[in-house]
Amino acid sequence: MKIVSGRADARWLPSRFNFALFRLYAFFRMKNAKPEPVDVALVIDRNQNPIESAVLSTWTTATLTCYAATTLFASWPLPLALLAGVPVAITCLEIPLFVVGIPLWRRENNIPLNSIALMSLMTAAAIYFARSESWVRFAAWQFLGLVALNGIAAAIVFLLRGSIAKMENAVGGITSEL
């Protein structure tokens, strides 16, 4: 794990982000940022950005809420169906964590497997609902569109990996074995 101190602009280092869209944005943000000498220490590790986590969890929950509203509460008025779909969506988001986690409970870190399972199920659901004739197809298509956009961003980040590595090495920092 790398720790950078004295540079508040290090919060924009791409390695602090998980998803390619956020990494690409962070790369251009950091490239154009001026050094901010502030008495701060930042851990350069993934999962360090609460905005990224909040945006993605809200987006995933809202999309799954739309799916639950159209499937389970189709006869209800739409605002009431969406409201009822929220607890169903939150509960359904936990199911893949248990299905993947229980057989592998002795492993130290199941995050990659949980992520693959959840994104695969969400993508499969989006493909299913994108074919429907109801309003939910718009939620499904925006999900598929953002997944495709993230794939394009991943290709761009892959091509920029040398520039990203140079930028991150220029910021400095110390390596710690925690």
SS (H, E, C) 98-112: HHHHCCCCCCCCCHH
Rounded to whole angstroms, the Cα distance separating 131 from 141 reads: 9
pTM score: 0.83
Mean pLDDT of the region 101-119: 80
- DSSP character for 35? P
What percentage of the chain exceeds 70 in pLDDT?
97
At 11 the pLDDT is 82
Q: What is the pLDDT of residues 8-34, one digit of tens each?
A: 788 888 888 889 999 999 999 988 888
Mean pLDDT of the region 29-41: 81
Rounded to whole angstroms, the Cα distance separating 69 from 83 reads: 8
At 178 the pLDDT is 58
Going through the chain in order, the beta strands assigned E by DSSP cover 2-5, 41-44, 174-175
Rounded to whole angstroms, the Cα distance separating 38 from 151 reads: 35
Mean pLDDT of the region 152-174: 89
Long-range Cβ contact pairs of 164-170 (< 8 A, separation 24 or more): 164/14, 164/15, 164/23, 164/27, 167/13, 167/14, 167/27, 167/30, 167/31, 168/13, 168/14, 168/15, 168/44
- Sign of the dihedral through C-alpha 83, 145, 138, 113: negative
